[in-house]
Amino acid sequence: MSYMETVTKVKKGQLSPVYLLYGTENYFIHNLEKLISSKVLGEEKENLAVYDLEEIPIQEVLGDVETYPFFGEKKLVFAHNPAFLKAKPERMAVEHDLHALERYLENPVDYSVLVLIAPYEKFDERKKISKLLKKSAEVAVCNPVKEYEVPKWINELSKQFNITIAEDAYEIFETELSSNLQLLESELSKLALYVGENGKVTRDIAENLVSHTTDASSLRLVDAVIEKDLAKAISIYKDLEKMKEEPIALIGLLSFQFRTIFRVKLLKMKGYSQAQMQKQLSVHPYVVKIAANREKQFSIERLKLIMDELAIADERMKQGGMEKGLAFEMLLYQLISPIKKA
């Protein structure tokens, strides 16, 4: 079952006696933990128990699950790291009695909720215990969202904060935060405080307030070159300087961006699809998508000249021929307003 399907059922109060949350998206797992806890225990936490199955055997956890709660009507037990579900589990410090778990799954108590939390991309569905869990428990898939799903999540989270996002601002979130939902939620929460309830986040607001990452800022530098906006490029560089980014490292980031644009342009000329490009270049699909949009602004010759300028600036800095910050600003000037050579 998908994360959202499980959320919907829990919100309606349709609780299962046993849950298996598996996947590598911590944002989904933490949200479900909080939601299940809220529905089972409310504000009271006396009947909450948390175990690490790398240290405590499952039979001891089940002993707690089957003990009637002293306070309240229900008990909630979180059991992390059930490595016995993996195809090739590492050597475990404790021995788990899986027969005890099998017996419990066939006849769970009605006064406890057991939540197994497996932070693994997948588990071995061929195992007997896995098959029984799929049959008897609520299994929620908590793997990261795909790139094409990011706009949907931006929309979903903005609704939760009662704000709207301008259409041209979506790219800022996609570029800066990619599919990191935890960061996305944090940034939208900050913007919601700024624009207020029912407020609108414009592109300018997003550009000014969304926390910038180094990789995303290198993309913004590429945009500044495309737009021939030297002031914008210098401003982005100054932001990166405050983030303690070295000019030589920034040249490396720019070189990667322009080299990717160059390679995507060549592959596009050969008739490759974006999926084929991604496989050929072994980079993130979003990197290919961005490069495919940007390559239209450059000729092959211009891209070669830009990469030559980057190589020259890199050599100049490493040889100490010029102060690094000044050399980088001159590089930006050369990329945006190239000086014609005799």
**Integer Cα distance of 337 and 342 in angstroms:** 16
Backbone angles phi, psi at 59, to 5 degrees: -65, -30
Q: Specify the pairing of strand 164-165 against strand 200-201.
A: parallel
pLDDT by residue, tens only, the chain of 342 residues: 788 889 989 999 999 999 999 998 888 999 999 999 999 998 778 889 999 999 999 999 999 999 998 877 899 999 999 999 988 877 777 899 999 999 999 999 999 999 999 999 888 889 999 999 999 999 999 988 877 788 888 888 899 899 999 988 887 787 667 667 888 888 899 999 999 999 999 988 987 887 666 666 677 787 888 888 888 888 888 878 877 778 888 888 888 889 999 999 999 999 999 889 988 888 777 778 888 988 998 899 999 999 998 998 888 888 887 788 888 888 888 888 764 443
- Could you tell me the fold of the domain covering 214-336? Zinc Finger, Delta Prime; domain 3 (1.20.272)
Which tokens belong to 248? Answer: 């030589």
The top-level CATH class assigned to 3-141 is alpha beta
Contacts of 160 (CB under 8 A, 6+ apart): none
Q: Specify the pairing of strand 48-52 against strand 75-80.
A: parallel
**Residue 213: what pLDDT?**
65
CB 120 within 8 A of CB 85: yes
**DSSP-assigned beta bridge partners for residue 20:** 116, 139
**Integer Cα distance of 120 and 130 in angstroms:** 14
HSE of 229, CA atoms in CB hemisphere, 13 A: 12
CB 270 within 8 A of CB 258: no
- Could you tell me the fold of the domain covering 147-209? Helicase, Ruva Protein; domain 3 (1.10.8)
Domain boundaries, the chain: 3-141, 147-209, 214-336
HSE of 144, CA atoms in CB hemisphere, 13 A: 10
**Integer Cα distance of 202 and 170 in angstroms:** 9
Which H or E element spans position 55? none
Indicate the residue type of 21: L
Helix (H, G, I), strand (E, B) or coil at 206: helix
